[in-house]
Amino acid sequence: MQMVATTSKALREGRSRVKNIVREISKYPLDEKLSMPKRIAHCLDWCAQECPNQYVPFQILLKAVMGYGKTPNANSKEVEGLRSKWTPVRRILLEQYQRDLVVERGVGVRATDGSEDVAKNTLGVKVRRFERSKQAIEKTLAIVDVSSIKDKQLRTWVGELRPAFKMLSSPDFVKKLLPPRDDGADEDKKK
């Protein structure tokens, strides 16, 4: 019986977090003069201050940035259109608010709340993306014969690119880029 009570309490608390963000976002001071990506970034920054680390459901975010009285359907074209704005929103968050964007499919979106949040939730993803891009460039470089390039500037650039990528590929360099493993987290708690 205790297990059921604990589980239902956790569910109620989880639901109350969503209700909290819904209640709080209704207080968001909409600035209709801003472009849509700037409105979204401004709203997410405001939410990160008011309700840190809480995801805003996509339809609730749209309601807030458009000033709607009624929440749009989660599957509406407008909500889908909102989801196509993440690239400029992320850029604005990074440049103007020193935050990053965390998108959780099926849940919602939020702005990061501090350095630890960025390191934990977005930096590792970007490093892995960098690693995949680096590997693709290395494979492409492998098929380029520098001596057959007639354009002197292009030949120089490709020639200088190879040693740079060799340096990036060293195991020591790659090891420094990888995020720490979970087993190191216990050591931080002991200190």
- 67 pLDDT exceeds 60? yes
- The domain locations on the chain are 22-113, 116-181
Query: What CA–CA distance (Å, rounded) separates 173 from 85?
Result: 34
Q: What is the pTM of this model?
A: 0.71
What are the beta bridge partners of residue 108? Answer: 104
- 19 pLDDT exceeds 50? no
Contact 36, 43 (CB under 8 A): no
- 68 pLDDT exceeds 70? yes
- 185 pLDDT exceeds 60? no
104-161, pLDDT tens digit by residue?
988 999 999 999 999 888 988 888 888 888 888 889 998 999 999 999 999 999 998 8
- 1 pLDDT exceeds 60? no
What are the beta bridge partners of residue 102? Answer: 110
- 17 pLDDT exceeds 90? no
- Per-chain mean pLDDT for the chain: 84
pLDDT given for residue 91 in this prediction? 97
Mean pLDDT of 179-183: 69
Please report which helix (H) or strand (E) contains residue 138, including its range. Answer: helix 124-142
71-88, pLDDT tens digit by residue?
999 889 999 888 888 999
pLDDT given for residue 182 in this prediction? 66
pLDDT given for residue 15 in this prediction? 52
Mean pLDDT of 170-190: 66
**Closest by CA position to 41, among listed 107, 104, 109, 106:** 109
> In terms of pLDDT, which residue wins out, 181 or 45?
45
pLDDT given for residue 6 in this prediction? 44
- Topology annotation, domain 22-113: Arc Repressor Mutant, subunit A (1.10.10)
Query: What CA–CA distance (Å, rounded) separates 40 from 85?
Result: 9
- Of the pLDDT bands very low, low, confident and very high (cuts 50, 70, 90), residue 3 is very low
